[in-house]
Amino acid sequence: MDTPTNDAETRQERFERGLDMLTRISGEGGQRVVDALADVSPELAHQIIAWGFGEIYRRPGLAPRDRQLVTLGMLTALGGCEPQLDVHVNAALNVGLTAEEIVEALLHAAGYCGFPKALNATFVAKKVFGERGLLPVTTD
Amino acid sequence: MDTPTNDAETRQERFERGLDMLTRISGEGGQRVVDALADVSPELAHQIIAWGFGEIYRRPGLAPRDRQLVTLGMLTALGGCEPQLDVHVNAALNVGLTAEEIVEALLHAAGYCGFPKALNATFVAKKVFGERGLLPVTTD
Amino acid sequence: MDTPTNDAETRQERFERGLDMLTRISGEGGQRVVDALADVSPELAHQIIAWGFGEIYRRPGLAPRDRQLVTLGMLTALGGCEPQLDVHVNAALNVGLTAEEIVEALLHAAGYCGFPKALNATFVAKKVFGERGLLPVTTD
Amino acid sequence: MDTPTNDAETRQERFERGLDMLTRISGEGGQRVVDALADVSPELAHQIIAWGFGEIYRRPGLAPRDRQLVTLGMLTALGGCEPQLDVHVNAALNVGLTAEEIVEALLHAAGYCGFPKALNATFVAKKVFGERGLLPVTTD
Amino acid sequence: MDTPTNDAETRQERFERGLDMLTRISGEGGQRVVDALADVSPELAHQIIAWGFGEIYRRPGLAPRDRQLVTLGMLTALGGCEPQLDVHVNAALNVGLTAEEIVEALLHAAGYCGFPKALNATFVAKKVFGERGLLPVTTD
Amino acid sequence: MDTPTNDAETRQERFERGLDMLTRISGEGGQRVVDALADVSPELAHQIIAWGFGEIYRRPGLAPRDRQLVTLGMLTALGGCEPQLDVHVNAALNVGLTAEEIVEALLHAAGYCGFPKALNATFVAKKVFGERGLLPVTTD
């Protein structure tokens, strides 16, 4: 885990530290989002990396695995964020959550967000698991 | 952690197992919600306990602490769920999350849900922390 | 039920037909909302009455009772609309839904919107039922 | 309408009663959702059937037609639930709502959820009506 | 800018004034939505035009450019409204907002709605800009 | 308008530039939010100021008045953000929007978010206008 961000850093240094964090957590999925922004909103890409990953994600107060649990909950609840769920189901697997735990978290979500949003999120997880050879998932 | 729910249970037994789980996780806050439903929708109270806590929460596939991380994310993202956030910030503390981790989770939420919802959730957390003598919270 | 709105009507006539419909459905609650808008956005009040009630509500294709069922579902799902739910729980009772049916509709909502939003809506219903002497509600 | 669920039932019996209800209401659409969950979250499929349909839908306090009106309202308001709206527009037709009433309910939704969500829901309804040979719909 | 709508107009006149406004603002995109509604909910199409554009949009109190800024903010925040964002990014360009301002507005949205919804909206804008030969967008 | 943020700044410098921007735009309301966070999440306060105001708001690509129009749209659409709407209705007045334009923007919102959210936002505006001696608002 990195040290917190209370030092003097240039905009470029914040970006580089964020990019390092993004690559460790989200792998290619995160990079693809950033690339797709290059010709329309490079500043949005910069801020997702430099601020989202370079300032927030690298803070030591919450483990990467825990951050993904919170994130899966938020993206499921927001709805309409299937592309971001794809990135973050991958990220969740990358930082140590198992497919079984992810499936259980999305079942848990049904009671708070209702079945439709839990279903939408679960089908994104199924797609990611399929791409990573993790199907079938066995719970209980 | 309880065994999963694939056995034969009566409606009353499911309720009792759920009530036990609710009491362990949510303490008085959960019970107050159930009591408040008694004269308007006792069946909603029954289902929150018997299904939400008796069937979902007691499944062994996700630790109680992890369930609260997902739940804090969902309630923050949904918006307008301050009464439920109050119950679940308490629950999060009861199952082992620290005030520092909860605050960090809600800071993390800003990037996914925006500052307004992160603020609303953080002020609920502040109220709960105050009631439990946990202020000030020191992060970093 | 009124005839549809395909005739030539002045803005004032649409308003008057809407006000008649509003009074029949929402009673004092609707009027209070309109009054509260008088010094800040009289046009919003006009459009709620002239368009919402004068054009949409008075169409014969869906019974008033059915409109309130759809409306209760929407307001519960949207979240943060407790003042409007108060008006529409009253409206639902005014057009023939029973307290038992309203409670059942909000229990049904738990599966689609999750427990937190179902709870928020149920507590609004409890307040309205209390004001109208309809507590306790007995279901099943 | 079934008797309420206050008896002793095994997990399997609840599932079977729910499956019977699901088949009557949602037909093939509901079954397809359940099948798609088999290799990723069979427990989510189980709970949708055993709890959603076996416990909630079969309660006698609200007619199936009324449940679909509430559900159409909720799914329209939630947004991003087009796959579930597809299932429930079919369900609404299966339990006795006409295409005209569904269209009117979604027009009614415009005043509460705004035109964008009303449009999204109406285009799902159009797709379902087309598949069932119900176009054009004639209102007024 | 048209005069306000406090005169006597027939339903058909309101529709015609709205259609004129719709065509000026949304061009073909708005018309395509209306056409697609013809066989399922012509009344929804009528009301979007006659009320949305004929009554609200033509009011002189807020400039068309300002209305699109508010609208871009709402559609981004609502989520799941990508088809409507497509129409309104086009409309925003039609009434004088530049691609750079639109991109900046959606970057600004990240702080209020979070990155996922800002991303979804930005990718819709990218698609529209591509169709109109406005890529790459250069900010700062 | 400040120059963009592509230089090397310390964390403290970003905060100070943000605080200057916050004070100009939001006045006391913004400061009160920051103060209330001091004992629970000072980092959230820091990031709202240093990032939200110090990096995003100070970018020259969108005028402060335009940012508030987008923001009013977002906060109205999100729902449950009445405390933030209070701050931003004040901010909107501070950067040159008139009460009449704000009221018109919230009337415009009815077509995209529905009447309930437009009402909630309008009543927040009424409260702020009352505090600043701007009632009654006269439109048309």
- How many angstroms separate the CA of residue B76 from the nearest CA in chain F? 11
Using only the alpha carbons of chain F, give its radius of gyration: 16
| pLDDT at position C138 over 90 | no
CA of residue D60 relative to chain centroid, distance: 17
Chain B nearest-CA distance from D69, in A, is 20
pLDDT of residue C2: 41
Q: In terms of Cα–Cα distance, which of D87, D89, D95, D90 is closest to D34?
A: D87
Domain that holds residue D74: 64-131
Rounded CA separation B44/C100 (Å): 12
Q: What is the pLDDT of residue E7?
A: 59
Average pLDDT over residues C22-30: 86
Q: Report the alpha-carbon distance of residue D87 to residue A42 in Å, rounded.
A: 40
C-beta separation of D112 from F117 below 8 A? no
Q: How far apart are CA E2 and CA E26, in angstroms?
A: 17
Residues 6+ apart with CB under 8 A from D92: D65, D68, D69, D71, D72, D102
Judged by a CB distance cut-off of 8 A, whether residue C78 touches chain F is yes
For residue B83, is it within any domain? yes
Are C118 and C76 members of one domain? yes
Radius of gyration of chain B (CA): 16
The band of C7, judged by pLDDT with boundaries at 50, 70 and 90, is low
Per-residue pLDDT, averaged over D7-34, amounts to 86
Instruction: Give chain B positions within 8 Å (CB) of D10.
Output: 7-9
Q: Does E44 touch chain F (CB under 8 A)?
A: no
Inter-chain residue contact C74 with D74, CB threshold 8 Å: yes
> Which residues of chain D neighbour E26 with C-beta distances below 8 Å?
none
pLDDT band at E105 (very low <50, low <70, confident <90, very high): very high
List phi, psi (to 5°) of B9: -135, 145
Which of E70, E87, E117, E122 to mutate to probe the F interface, most F CBs <10 Å?
A: E70
Q: How far is residue F11's CA from residue F36's CA, in Å, rounded to a whole number?
A: 21
pLDDT, one tens digit per residue, over F108-136 is 999 999 999 999 999 999 999 999 999 99
Let me know the angle formed at the C-alpha of E115 by E82 and A37, rounded to the nearest 5 degrees: 75
Residue C137 covered by a domain = no
- Buried b / exposed e over E25-50, threshold 16 CB at 10 Å, is bbeebbbebbebbeebbbbbbbbbbb
The answer to the question of residue E2 being in a domain is no
> Which amino acid, one-letter code, is at A29?
G
Q: Residue C101 has what pLDDT?
A: 98
Q: What is the pLDDT of residues B24-76, one digit of tens each?
A: 998 888 888 889 999 999 999 999 999 999 999 999 999 999 999 999 999 99
- Which chain A residue shows the shortest CA-CA distance from F15? A6
- CA dihedral sign, ordered D102, D104, D107, D109: negative
pTM as predicted = 0.95
Q: Which residue has the higher pLDDT, A138 or C99?
A: C99
pLDDT at E9: 80
Q: Which residue has the tokens 């005043």?
A: D111
Number of separate domains in chain F: 2
Q: Are F118 and F105 in contact (CB under 8 A)?
A: no
Where b means 16+ CB within 10 Å and e means fewer, A93-107 reads: bbbebebbbbbbbbb
Q: Do residue B74 and residue A73 have CB atoms under 8 angstroms apart? A: yes
A49, A52, A55, A60: CA torsion to nearest 10: -120
More confident residue, E43 or A5: E43
Indicate whether A88 belongs to any domain: yes
Location of structure tokens 């979902």 = B56
Residue type, D29: G
Which of chain F's residues have a Cβ under 8 Å away from the Cβ of A9?
Answer: 8, 10-11
Instruction: Evaluate whether residue F3 is within a structural domain.
Output: no
Of chain D, the percentage scoring pLDDT greater than 70 comes to 94
CB distance D11–B9 less than 8 Å?
yes
DSSP string, D30-82: HHHHHHHTTTT-HHHHHHIIIIIIIIIIT-TTS-HHHHHHHHHHHHHHH-S-H
Q: What is the 3-state secondary structure (H, E, C) of F105-117?
A: HHHHHHHHHCHHH
- Does B47 contact C110 at a Cβ distance shorter than 8 Å? yes
Q: Residue F56 is encoded by which pair of tokens?
A: 């995003």
Q: What pLDDT does D28 receive?
A: 83
Output the pLDDT for position F7: 58
Contact C130, C92 (CB under 8 A): no
Judge whether A100 is closer than 8 Å to chain D, CB to CB. no
pLDDT band for position E48 (cuts 50, 70, 90): very high
Q: Does F33 touch chain B (CB under 8 A)?
A: yes
A81 and A108, same domain (yes or no): yes
Per CB-CB distance under 8 Å, the chain B contacts of F33 are: 119
Q: Is B30 a domain residue? A: yes
More confident residue, F69 or A6: F69
Query: Which residue has better confidence, F61 or B12?
Result: F61
- Say which residue, C18 or B3, is predicted with more confidence: C18
Q: Give the angle subtended at the CA of A13 by the CAs of F44 and A54, to the nearest 5°.
A: 35
Both C43 and C24 in one domain: the answer is yes
Tell me the C-alpha distance between B1 and E129, whole Å.
54
Contact yes or no for E136 and A83 at CB 8 A: no
Mean pLDDT of B118-129: 98
Q: Do B6 and D11 touch (CB under 8 A)?
A: yes
Least CB–CB distance from B107: residue in F33, F39, F44:
F44
**pLDDT the model gives residue C29:** 80
Are both C68 and C121 inside the same structural domain?
A: yes
Residue C50's pLDDT is what?
Answer: 95
Residues D88 and D113 in one domain: yes
Residue of A nearest to E118 (CA): A44
CB contact under 8 A, F119 and C52: no
* CA-closest candidate to residue B71, choices B130, B25, B131, B20: B25
What pLDDT digit, counting tens, does each position of C96-135 carry?
999 999 999 999 999 999 999 999 999 999 999 999 999 9
- For A5-134, strand residue ranges (E) read 8-10
Q: Quick one: tokens of D140?
A: 């007024």
User: Has residue A89 been placed in a domain?
Assistant: yes
Q: Mean pLDDT throughout A42-61?
A: 95
What's CA A129's distance to the chain center, in Å? 15
Q: How many CA atoms lie within 13 A of F138 on its CB side?
A: 0
Burial classification of residue A24, based on how many CB atoms lie within 10 Å of its CB (0-12 exposed, 13-18 middle, 19 or more buried) = middle
List of chain B residues whose C-beta atoms are within 8 Å of the C-beta of residue F42: 139
Q: For residue A64, is the peptide bond before it cis, meaning its omega torsion is within 30 degrees of 0?
A: no
CA B33/CA B38 separation, integer angstroms: 9
Residues in chain A: 140
CATH number at residue C83: 1.20.1290.10
Average pLDDT, chain E: 92
The interface predicted TM-score (ipTM) is 0.93
Tell me what percent of the residues of chain F surpass a pLDDT of 70.
Answer: 94
Distance CA A6, CA A3 (A): 9
Classified as helix, coil or strand, F9 is: strand
Residues A41, A69: one domain? no
CB C90 within 8 A of CB C77: no
Nearest residue in A to D76, CA atom? A116
Minimum distance, in Å, between the CA of residue E1 and any CA atom of chain A: 32
pLDDT tens across D90-138, in order? 999 999 999 999 999 999 999 999 999 999 999 999 999 999 999 999 8
8 Å CB contact between D4 and C140: yes
- Predicted confidence (pLDDT) at residue A59 exceeds the cutoff of 50: yes
Which helix (H) or strand (E) element contains residue A127?
Answer: helix A115-131
Measure the CA dihedral E103/E109/E111/E116, to 10°.
-90
Do both C125 and C77 map to the same domain?
Answer: yes
d(CA A65, CA A96): 6
* Same domain (yes/no): A113, A78: yes
* Mean per-residue pLDDT, F76-95: 97
> Same domain for E15 and E42?
yes
**% of chain C at pLDDT higher than 90:** 81
DSSP state of C62: S
Omega before A136 cis (within 30°)?
Answer: yes
> Which residue carries 């995109």 as its tokens?
E29
Task: Single out the residue of C125, D89, B80 nearest to residue F116, CA to CA.
Answer: B80
> Is residue E79 included in any domain, yes or no?
yes
Verify that A75 and A112 share a domain, yes or no.
yes
Whether residue D23 has pLDDT greater than 60: yes
- What integer pLDDT is reported at residue D77 of this predicted model? 98
Q: What residues contact residue C136 under an 8 Å CB cut-off, 6+ apart?
A: B38, B39, B40
User: 């009221």: which residue's tokens?
Assistant: F103
Q: Is D110 on the interface with E (CB under 8 A)?
A: yes
Beta-carbon neighbour count of residue F4 at 10 Å? Answer: 15
Q: What pLDDT is stored for residue F53 in this prediction? A: 94
Mean pLDDT, chain D, as a whole number? Answer: 92
Q: What is the mean pLDDT of chain C?
A: 92
Using a CB-CB cut-off of 8 Å, the residues of chain D touching A110 are 44, 47
Place of tokens 């910069």: A46
Same domain for F90 and F50, yes or no, is: no
At residue E4, does pLDDT exceed 50? no
* E30 confidence band (pLDDT: 50, 70, 90): confident
E strand or H helix that includes residue F10: strand F8-10
Handedness of CA F115, F121, F124, F128 (dihedral sign): negative
- The percent of residues in chain D predicted with pLDDT above 90, rounded, is 81
Q: Would you say B88 and A77 are in contact if contact means Cβ atoms under 8 Å apart?
A: no
Task: Check whether residue C82 and residue C122 sit in a common domain.
Answer: yes
CA atoms A69, A73, A76, A81: torsion sign: negative
Q: Among F104, F139, C7, which residue's Cα sits nearest to residue E9?
A: C7
CA atoms of F15 and F53, how far apart (whole Å): 8
